[in-house]
Structures are given as C-alpha cells and as structure tokens.
Amino acid sequence: MVVSNAGLINKILKLKKERNAVILAHNYQPAEIQDLADFVGDSLELSQKAASTCADVIVFCGVHFMAETAYILSPDKKVLLPEASAGCPMADMVTAEKLIAKKKELPDAAVVTYINSTAAVKAESDICCTSANAPKVVASLPDEEILFVPDMYLGQYVASQVPEKKYTFWPGYCPVHEGIKAESVLKLKKEYPAAKVVVHPECRPEVIELADEVLSTSGMCRYAALPDVTQMIVVTETGIIHRMQKENPQKQFIPVSKNAICHTMKSITIEKVLHSLETLTPEVTVPEDIRLKAIGAVNRMLDIV
Ligand code: 13P
Ligand code: SF4
C-alpha cells in the first residue's frame, strides 16, 4: 500500500501531540522536513530552543552533534535523531584524546570549540561557539592564546576579525564548504553583478574574501529578508535556498554549486521522523560525567550571546 506524504504528515502531527513532542530542524534539512518542523534554524538557535522547550520529546532533524547538544542542555527530555548514522564529518576530525594531548602542548591556550564537535570534545573545552557568534566568543575571553577546534577555516575567519590573539588551529574542515571554490563564486559574480554574495564562515579564506556578508545560516536568512536585497549568491549548503525562497518568493537566490550538499543532513526523511515518533528511537544521550563537563562550555557560550 502506498501511503502519501499527506497521510504520513497527519500521522506525525497526531503522534507529536500525543507524545508532547517538538520537531526541530536545521536550515539544511530537506524541504519537506523544514515544512513539517515546529522550528527551523541554525545551530545556535536550535541549542537555545532545545534548552527552553517544555516538550517531553525533541525530534532533532539535523546531525548527531546537534542532537547531543540538545541532550546536554535538556537531559530530562527524550532526544531523538531520526537517522542514527547522521553525523558531521568535521565533528569526527577531533577526538577527546587528541585534544587532551594538544592541550598539554599548549597549557596557556583557551580551548574554543565549534559546536560541530562531539560531547566528549566539548567536555575538554573552555567554551563553545557557533558560526553565529565565534568572533564575539573569542573577543570575550581574557586569554591571549587560543586553540580553535576543529574548523580551521572558521578559526582563520575569527582570527581576521579578532587579530589581537595568538591562534593555533586544529586542522579540521567541513568537506561540503571546503569543496566550494573561489572560481565558482567569481563566475556567478560575473553572471549576476548586482547580486549580494553571502558566505558561510566554514568556507575557505579565498572564498570568504569575495563575500559581501559572512553569516551563519540563519544570519543569511535574516539578510535575505532585507528590503534592499533582491538577488543573492548563496555560498553554503543548497538546502537553505528552500527557506529563503519560501520567505521571500519574489527574490532570486542563486546556489553557488548544485554539489554543495551535506548528505547526512539529507538522510532524514518523513518516514524516519514518523518511525522515531512511533518507537521513540533512535535516542541520543551522553554519559552524565561527560555531559556535566560539556555543559559548562556550552553554557559559557549561551551566557554571552
Ligand atoms: P549554522 O550554525 O550556521 O547553521 O552552521 C551549521 C553547520 O553545520 C554548517 O555547516
Ligand atoms: Fe558538518 Fe559540513 Fe554537514 Fe555542516 S555541512 S553538518 S559542517 S558536514
């Protein structure tokens, strides 16, 4: 028997009520998941929502570190990740063991860790940051030396904004943003000379240099709504275009590359969301000793934004 999307969505909405669940989705999620969600946002907003929701169940349509962060902040809730294997390759480029070893080499450095990291890595960090607040977080620290983990490109962008610190960058990166080349942006700028260029700070420095604005995913959506922005070259994962176009149907959004796709983000489906709500699995948790250490780094960030 073929069950239509509308049938599946009705079942999800009914179960969501019964379970007192909330569906949170990242800006890169497939269009039908964004349309189904109670809230769509960037990593910072999703953490804030997870911390403040009064739902009993959080269905996290995103990747593993995002669901972990939700659990760190709301351990009394059931946090579900509809596809258990939806990870972030950048988050896996640093382990707690390797970070502990590096900290021994740099005993005076404050460890600033991008939210795209595992709970075990956050537990070894002084403070977290997201793409929405990284320069602000670093500028707020009294420390002169910074170990920035794991995104070297975001770290280099922060260094350009807060140059008075001494930086060591972990050699991690997002494969999706790393794959975006300056030539692609230059080509589109020639084709659409009036378009604004917005770039995610996970991009390479030579791509960031071409930006009119460097913004988090939700920052890009807010910028897209400005009255004087009518045409935009969007230099990040293509899933975000759905939200921009939906919120600004009269404007033109040009994706930098059709290949800028995060496949783990796209592994969440309507069927999997329904299965999660039916079975209350796959659940994401964090061992309590790690959670208690990690929440310090996350809350220090939330306190300053
Ligand atoms: P944002 O916090 O800007 O949404 O970025 C998250 C992410 O994974 C970007 O690749
Ligand atoms: Fe990770 Fe990059 Fe996917 Fe964001 S786009 S979740 S950083 S792999």
Output the pLDDT for position 3. 64
Q: Is the pLDDT at 175 greater than 80, yes or no?
A: yes
Please state, in angstroms and rounded to a whole number, the distance separating the CA atoms of residues 267 and 59.
14
- Whole-number average pLDDT of the chain: 97
Q: Does 99 contact ligand 2 (Cβ within 6 A)? A: no
Q: Does 67 contact ligand 2 (Cβ within 6 A)? A: no
Tens digit of each residue's pLDDT (9 = 90 or more) over 227-267: 999 999 999 999 999 999 999 999 999 999 999 999 999 99
**Nearest residue CA, atom 8 of ligand 2?**
88
pTM of the predicted structure, to 2 decimals = 0.97
Q: Is the pLDDT at 2 greater than 80, yes or no?
A: no
Q: Which amino acid is at 254?
A: I
Q: Does 29 contact ligand 1 (Cβ within 6 A)? A: no
**Nearest residue CA, atom 4 of ligand 1?**
42
Residue pair 69/50 in contact (Cβ under 8 Å)? The answer is yes
Q: Of 5 and 80, which is predicted with more confidence? A: 80
Q: Is the pLDDT at 195 greater than 90, yes or no?
A: yes
Compute the average pLDDT of residues 38-46.
97
Q: Does 232 contact ligand 2 (Cβ within 6 A)? A: no
Tens digit of each residue's pLDDT (9 = 90 or more) over 198-236: 999 999 999 999 999 999 999 999 999 999 999 999 999
Output the pLDDT for position 1. 52
Residue pair 150/114 in contact (Cβ under 8 Å)? The answer is yes
Output the pLDDT for position 4. 79
